[in-house]
A and B are shown apart, each in its own frame.
Chain A
Amino acid sequence: MVNLAWWVVFLPLLAFLLISLVTRPHRKLSGWITILAVGASFVLSVAILLDMLARPGARESAWQWLSLGPVHVELGVLLDPLAAIMLVVVTLVSLLVQIYSTAYMGEDPGYSRYFAFMGLFTFSMLGLVVANNYLEMYVFWELVGLCSYLLIGFWYEKPSAAAAAKKAFVVTRFGDFGFLLAILLLFGHLGTFNFGEVAQGVADGRLPAAAVTAAALLVFFGAAGKSAQFPLHVWLPDAMEGPTPVSALIHAATMVAAGVYLVARTYGLFVSSAASLLVVAYIGGFTALFAATIAIAQSDIKRIVAYSTISQLGYMMMALGAGGFTAGVFHLMTHAFFKALLFLGAGSVILMYFHEQNIWRMGGLYRYMKITAITMIVAALANAGLFPFAGFFSKDEILVAVKESGHLGLYWIGAFTALLTAFYMFRLVFVVFFGPRSEFSPSGHEALPDIGNPRPAQVEAPGAGASGEPAVSAQARAEADKHLHESPAVVTLPLMILAFLSIVAGFWGWPGLSHGFGSFVFFSGAGAGGGAAAEAARAAHAAAGFDWPTVIVSNFFVLLGLLLAWVLYGRRRRAADPLAEILGPVFTVLEHKYYVDEFYLWFIRHFVDGGAAVLAWIDANIVNGIANGIGALLMGIGGLLRLFQNGWVQRYALIFFIAVLVLVAVLVYREPALTAAIVGGAR
C-alpha cells in the first residue's frame, strides 16, 4: 500500500513534464492531462485512506537519495492517519479546482502553462505531505513556495502580480530560513533527518532542553512564514493577484495549511517544550483576532476571504499550541473544504460580473446566481461555525481544547473572533447577494478604479458616487444585467460538491462518535510508542460528548455576529459602508491593515535598499578607489621621473657630472686608502 503513495505523488509530476515538454500547444489536451493525473491520485488517496482506516498505524518506505560521510538523505514516504487525511483533502480539492479552472481560465493564452504549474504544485504539496524526513519536507516545502511564486505571478504582465509573487516568495523564504536552521540544529545534535528518529531522540532526552525549544520555535518560524501567521502574514492578501482557482487551491486549502501540517508532523518537538507550545498558541490566537478585525474593513471580495483564511489558520495554530492536536487537524480538514468553496464562489461571481472584485460595486446578485449564492451562504455558515455545519464541530473542538489547556484568555479571544468571523462573512453575503444593486456597478468590461469602502457621507450627495464617479443610470444597469447569468456547470458542480462536504464533513468529528475523527487522528505521545497517559486522556475526551457551555457560547456569538451583519448591511439602501461611521478613524486603520505593509516597505526601502545603495557606493568608490588610487599613484611617480627626461642633452650631462662629483667626493674624502691605491697603483 505504501508504494501506492509513490504513484499518488509522482502522477502530477508526470502531468507537469508531459505538458511542459510535449503538449504545450494543445490547450484542451493539457487541461485534461492534469485533471486525469490528479483524479487518479485522488482515487489512490481514497484507497490509501480506506486502508489506513482499516488498519491504522505508521508505514514508511525510503530510498537512499544522497549519502556523504555522516550526511544520509533519504527520499521516503511516511503514511499515517494524518498523512492519509491530508492526501485525500489535497487531491480532492485540487481535482475540484482543476475542473473549475477549465472554465475560469477558458480563454487565457497561458492555459497549458497554468495546468502545468498546477500539476507541479499538486506534486510538491503531495510530496510535502508524505515526506518522511525533515530535509525531504524542506525540499518540497521550497518547491511549493516556487509553485506559489509561479502561479501568483501567472499574469506576469500585471506589475502588481509580479510584485506580489516576489513578495510571497521572499517572505516565505524568510520563514524557510528559520526552518532550515531548525533542520541543521537537529541534525547537528541528533545526526539524522528522519521524523521518527528525531522524535525518538527528543524523547530520549539526547537533545538539550534549550535546543528543543530553539528547534521548535524555528520550525514554528518556518510554519508561520508559510501559513501566513503574524508577522509574516503580509504576503497572503497580495497573493490574491493570482487567478482565483489558484487562491482557492493554494492560498486557502493546501499550501497555507502546510505550516499547520508541519507543526502537526513535528508535534513531538513542541510537546516536549512547554514554552514553544505557549508561543504557538498565543501567536495563533493573536493572528486569528488580528486578521478577523482587518477582514471586517476590506472591500475586495478575495481579500476578505484571504484575511479569513489567515484568521482560521490562527485558530488551527492556537489549537495545536493549546495541545488540541486532533482539533487542529480536524479544523484543517473542514476549513480546506469551505474555504476552497468560498474562493471558488467568489471566483464564479467575479467571472460572471465583468471581473469586478469590489463588493461595493455588486449587490442583489442573488437573483442571477442562485447556486453560487446558496453554496457561498453554506460556506459562510460553515466558516462562521453555526451548529450543523462543519466549521462548528472543528471550531468547537478547538475552543474545548483551549479551555482544557487552561488558556482562558485565548478561549474568549477565540469566541470573540467567532463573532467577527460571522460578522464579516455575512457582511460579504448581504452586500454581494442581497440588497439593492450598487450605484457604481460596472456596465461593460472596462476596468474601473478601485473605490474601496465608500463612506455614507460621500454617497449622501445625490448622484455623486465615491471619488466623484457618476452613479450608473438605471437604464445602463438594466442593459448590463442582461449579461448576468449563472456560471456554467463545470463551475457550479465543484461548488455543490464542496458545499455538501462543508455540511457533512463536520459530522465525522461528532464528539463521542465511536469511530470518530478523534479516534483516527490523534497525537500518540512520544514517538510511535503512544504513552499510556495520552491514551487515557484521549479516551476520556472522546467519551465526554459535547461540552455544552462551549457549544452555547460559540453559537450565541455566531448568531450575534450574523444579526449585527443583517442590521448593518441586510437593510441598507445605498452602496455605502455604515461601519465606517461607527468605527470612524479605527475603520481607516483596519482598512489599511494596521499599516503593516507600509512599515515593512519603509523598513526595506530605508535599511535594506538603503544599505545596499550605501554598500554599492562604498564598493564602487572605496574598494575600487583604493585599487585605482594605487594605479594613479604609480602613474604619478612615473610622471615625476619624466621631468628628468626632457630631451636636453645638457641636462643629461649635468646629471652625469653631478654623479661623478659625488663619486669623487666620496672616494677622495671617505676612503683615502682606496684613492691612494687607485692613484698610486700605476707601477
Chain B
Amino acid sequence: MSFPVLSTIVFAPLAGALVIACLPAARKEAIRWVAAVAAGVSFALSLWLVFAYNQAAGGVQFVENVPWFPSFGVSYHLGADGISVVMLLLTGIVGFTGVFVSWGIEERVKEFFITLLALMFAVSGVFASFDLLLLFIFFEFAVLPKFVLISVWGSTKKEYAAMKLALYLVLGSAFTLLGILSLYFVAGIHSMDLIQLANHPFTHGQQLWLFALVFLGFAVQVPVWPLHSWLPDAHVAAPSAGSMMLAGVVMKLGAYGILRVALTLFPQGAVYWAPVVAVLAVINVLYAAFVAMGQKDLKYLIANSSISHMGYAVLGIAALTLSGLSGAVLQMFAHGIMAALLFALVGMTYDRTHTRQIAEMGGLARVLPVIATAFVIAGLASVGLPGTASFWSEFLVFVGSFGIFRVLAILAIFCIVITAYYILKAVQRVYFGPIRVEKFQKLHDARWSDWVALSIIIVFIVGVGAYPSLLTDLIQTGLAPIMARLPESATAATAFGAGWLAWLGGAR
C-alpha cells in the first residue's frame, strides 16, 4: 500500500497536538508554529489529494483497510471519494487558517491549540472514514474538543452554550447510534463497512424508518429547523477559531452524514421523506434569515445566516437530482470557507473594539480597511454574488430543486433578497458611515497572521467562484454511485410521498 495519505491527513493534527503537549506552556511562539505546521501538513496533503484523485476511475481511492474488531466486522477503513476529497480540503483550509486567526490568543495557549488540533483530527476523521462505526466514533469524539473550546475560551454565556451544544449533539448522536445499530442488525451481514452495506438490499419498509432515524440523528448537527437553537449560542460563545471550525466544518458533518449514510444506504427512504426534508429546509432558510435580520449582535446575525445557508444545502439534498446534490455538496464547501472567513473577521473586529453590538460600531472601514474589505467580500459571498463560490452552489441547488419542489424553490430563491438586505444592512451599520464612538479612532488593522488567514480563504472563494468545475467534477464522480442507486423515479418524488406531502412540496 503506498504512502498512507489519508491517515497522515487525519492524524497530522493529532501528532501536532501531542508534540505541543510536550512543549512547555511558556514557549507560546513555538506552540503556535507547531500547530501551524501540523495543520499545514494536513492542508497541503488535502490540496494535493484534489489533484491526485483520479477522476476517470472515480469511486473510493487511497483506501486503507485494517480489521479493528473482526468479531463485529468493524475495520479501520479510510478512503476518499469525490465528496470526501472536497470536504477534506475544506477541513484543511478552515483548520489551517483557524490556527493563524488564533495567533493572538494569550491565555492557556498550549491547551487551546491541543483542543483545536484535536477537533481538526476528529472532523477530518469523519470525512475520511468509510466504516460506519469508525465514522461514528470520530463524530462523537468531535463533541469533546468543541465543548472544551467553548467553555474555556468562550465569551458570552459560555458555560450555558457549551452545555447546550453538548446535550444537543449527544442527543443527535444517540439517534444516530440507534440508527447505526439497528441497520447493522437489520442488515445482518456482520459488517460495518459502508460499501458492503450500500450493496445490501434493505427492504422498502426498513428503509423508511431507518432513513428517518439516521436523518434525525444527523439533522441536529446540520442543524435542521426545530433542532437548531444550540447553534447560535454555541457559535457566539466560541472563540473566533472555535466558531470558525464550528461554522466552517462541524456543521457540515451533519449534512455529510446524511449524504454518506442516510442517502447511500436508504435511497427509497430518502425519496419517501424528500418532501418533508424539503419543507424543513425551506423553513430553515426563511426562518433563520428573518431571525438573523432581527439580531442586534453581529455574531448572532452570522450564526443565524449560517443556519439559513445550510438550509440551501438540505434543500439540495432533498431534491435528489444530480445538480441538487452536487449543489448541496458545493454549498457545504462554499459556505464552509465563507462562514469561516466571516467568523474570523468578526473575531478580529471583536478583538479590537471589544463589542459585537451592531449599534455600537460604525465607520470602522476608515480605521480597519483590510478587515472591512475582507468583510465586504465575505458578505457578498454570503449573498451569493457571482464570482464567489456560493453563487454556483446556490444556483445548482436552485436548478436541482426548481424542477421538483416548484413552490418551495421559489420561496428559497426569494431568500437571496432577504439575505442581501440583512447582510448589507449589517455591513453598512458596522463598517460604513461615520465613526460614532471616539475610542475607535485609533485601532490597529490586520496583523500578518490575519493577512495569511484572510488571503487564503479569499483566494479559494474567488477561485472556486471563477472556475467551479474544479470541484464540481470531483463532486460529480463522488455522487455517481449514490445517483445510480436512487430509484429512477427519484425525480418523481411524489411517487412514494403521501398525498399532502406532495401537494405541499408542489408537484411538478
Contact = CB atoms under 8 A, between A and B. Distances in A.
Q: Do chains A and B touch in the complex (CB under 8 A)?
A: yes
Interface of A: 64-71, 135, 138-140, 142-143, 146, 149, 153, 156-159, 161-163, 165-166, 169-170, 173-174, 176-177, 180-181, 184-185, 187-188, 608-609, 611-617, 619, 623-624, 627, 631
B399 A619 contact: no
A177 B416 contact: yes
Nearest to B470: A66
7 contacts: A66-B392, A146-B380, A161-B432, A608-B421, A609-B294, A616-B291, A616-B293
Contacts of A149: 424
A90 B190 CA distance: 69
Contacts of B416: 173, 176-177, 180
Contacts of A161: 432
B469 A613 contact: no
Main SS of chain A's interface residues?
helix
A424 to B, nearest CB: 32
B417 A188 contact: no
Given A180-B413, A184-B399, 10 more contacts: A68-B469, A142-B385, A146-B380, A165-B428, A170-B417, A173-B383, A608-B418, A609-B293, A612-B291, A617-B294
A163 B428 contact: yes
A66 B469 contact: yes
A71 B396 contact: yes
Nearest to A69: B322
A616 B294 contact: yes
B349 interface: no
Nearest to B402: A184
Given A146-B380, A146-B385, A608-B293, A180 B398 contact: yes
A187 B401 CA distance: 12
Given A68-B396, A157-B433, A181-B413, A139 B323 contact: no
A166 B428 contact: yes
B396 A611 contact: no
A181 B414 CA distance: 9
Contacts of A138: 386
A315 B196 CA distance: 67
Interface in B221-246: 226, 228-230, 232
A68 B432 contact: no
B231 to A, nearest CB: 11
A69 B417 contact: no
A611 B229 CA distance: 19
B141 interface: no
A229 to B, nearest CB: 17
B386 A142 contact: yes
Contacts of A170: 417, 420-421, 424
B195 to A, nearest CB: 23
Given A153-B432, A169-B424, A615-B291, A66 B399 contact: no
Contacts of A165: 424, 428, 432
A159 B434 contact: yes
Interface string B431-456: 11110000000000000000000000
A67 B467 CA distance: 11
A119 to B, nearest CB: 15
B476 A69 contact: yes
B366 interface: yes
B322 A139 contact: no
B434 A627 contact: no
A612 B428 contact: no
What 4 A-B pairs are tightest by C-beta distance, nearest first? A616-B294, A162-B432, A612-B294, A612-B293
Nearest to B422: A612
A612 B292 CA distance: 8
A50 B386 CA distance: 33
B290 to A, nearest CB: 4
A181 B469 CA distance: 23
Nearest to A160: B433
Most chain A CB inside 10 Å of its own CB: which residue of B287, B366, B385, B468: B385
A615 B290 contact: yes
Contacts of B363: 157
A68 B366 contact: no
A180 B386 CA distance: 12
B164 A627 contact: yes
Interface string B394-430: 0110110011000001100110111011101101100
Interface in B80-136: none
B124 to A, nearest CB: 26
Contacts of A619: 229, 232, 287, 291
B369 to A, nearest CB: 10
Contacts of A157: 363, 365-366, 432-434
B387 A143 contact: yes
Nearest to B424: A166
Given A68-B396, A68-B472, A138-B386, A188 B403 contact: yes
